[in-house]
Structure 1
Amino acid sequence: MSGPEKFVLLGKVVGVHGIRGELKLESYTEPRTQIFRYQPWRLRSASGETTIAGSRGRAQGKGIVATLPGVDDRDAAAALIGSEIWVARSALPKSAPGEYYWTDLEGLEVVTLEGRALGAVSHLIATGANDVLVVKDAERERLIPFIVGQFVTQVDLEGGRVTVDWDPEF
């Protein structure tokens, strides 16, 4: 698939740490310090976007603390609170067979085993048991458990399609 570069949300700036410009981050990576492996970061906030390369950090308590180039005092750090941390999809490692990044599934066409179109993957929802595809078409929204082999029979990233064993009326 070609087109504009996709970006993936990996975390968020949630506070400041100390007086030297360190930031408290919430990381969506596992383990949480893995966020520093994927750079550069694109920080997005209501005031705009900034690209930052060379961020470093460490685990501290239940969160992580980061140092960003050019952010040298508490005021500069405080201005970044609420910023989301995005990275280019191409900066992430290739997924293992049978595993998928949510961003790669979003936008894919969803069809039944019989070839009936159900819509496209709008987004996914994490539940305790399994992830759920949110599939939308012009008329409705369907929630389909993302359980490969049971409800999801095939994911064709190149072809842009997910085949599901799902009753279109449900």
Structure 2
Amino acid sequence: MTNPKDLIVLGRLGKTHGLKGWLRLSSFTAPLEEILDYSQLITKIGGQWCSLKIDQSRQQSNGLLVHVVGYDDPEAAKLLTGLDLSVSKNELPALDADDYYWYQLKGLEVVNKQGELFGKVSRILETGANDVLVVKPNEQSMDDRERLIPYLRDSVIDSVSLAQAKIVVNWDADYLA
């Protein structure tokens, strides 16, 4: 049985395209084509976990088009629209010591160098220039403000400890959220 907690969503299937069962694919990987490196993608169809295989793909100006094995016409492919495509966390490539996947940062406590607790990372925004941590306060936080903290390693992020579930930031409590 597939444990949803072990899965990372890498993309979502969109509308059908053409007469041979092709679908638009919104890839959440960088680069977009990296999702195609996985031989099997896991999804939930009708309450059942199953594995899908993409056998063909092509680039379009606004993203990817893919064909999934066994879904050879628009009616069959339509059953897949809106489904998330996931892989097990242990299938993700290993990263360098100072690199992290977003899912690893979510839920970590964020404190500044003065020891003031801002809250926990609830999500991460991709802005183009740099990623931004959305830090939501919790019961132990110094105040009830949500903060948007840029993920800039050399200037804002002082340290990340997965073992301690903590991110230390060079960020004053009075900075605008």
Normalized against structure 1, the TM-score is what? 0.84
Query: Deviations for 1:5-59, whole angstroms, at most 9, x for unmatched residues?
Result: 44322112122233332222122223322212235323358x6464224322322
Q: What SS is found at the alignment partner of 1:104?
A: helix
CA contact (8 A) 1:33 1:59 kept: no
CA contact (8 A) 1:36 1:56 kept: no
5+ residue gaps, structure 1: none
2:91 aligned partner: 91
Cα distance in 1 between the residues matched to 2:137 and 2:82: 33
2:160 aligned partner: 155
Amino acid at match of 1:22: W
State the identity as a percent: 36
2:10 aligned partner: 10
* Alignment map for 1:110-125 (pairs within 5 Å): 110-125=110-125
Cα distance in 2 between the residues matched to 1:157 and 1:123: 16
Cα distance in 2 between the residues matched to 1:49 and 1:151: 43
CA shift in 2, pair 1:85/1:49, >3 Å: farther
Query: Deviations for 1:71-112, whole angstroms, at most 9, x for unmatched residues?
Result: 232111012212222222221101223322111100111111
CA contact (8 A) 2:16 2:24 kept: yes
* Alignment map for 1:6-155 (pairs within 5 Å): 6-43=6-43, 48=47, 50-62=49-61, 63-138=63-138, 139-155=144-160
Cα distance in 1 between the residues matched to 2:48 and 2:159: 37
Cα distance in 2 between the residues matched to 1:6 and 1:103: 11
- 1:4 Cα deviation (Å)? 7.2
Cα distance in 2 between the residues matched to 1:164 and 1:131: 14
Normalized against structure 2, the TM-score is what? 0.81
Deviates more, 1:113-122 or 1:55-64: 55-64
5+ residue gaps, structure 2: 139-143
Q: What SS is found at the alignment partner of 2:53?
A: coil
Q: What SS is found at the alignment partner of 2:168?
A: strand
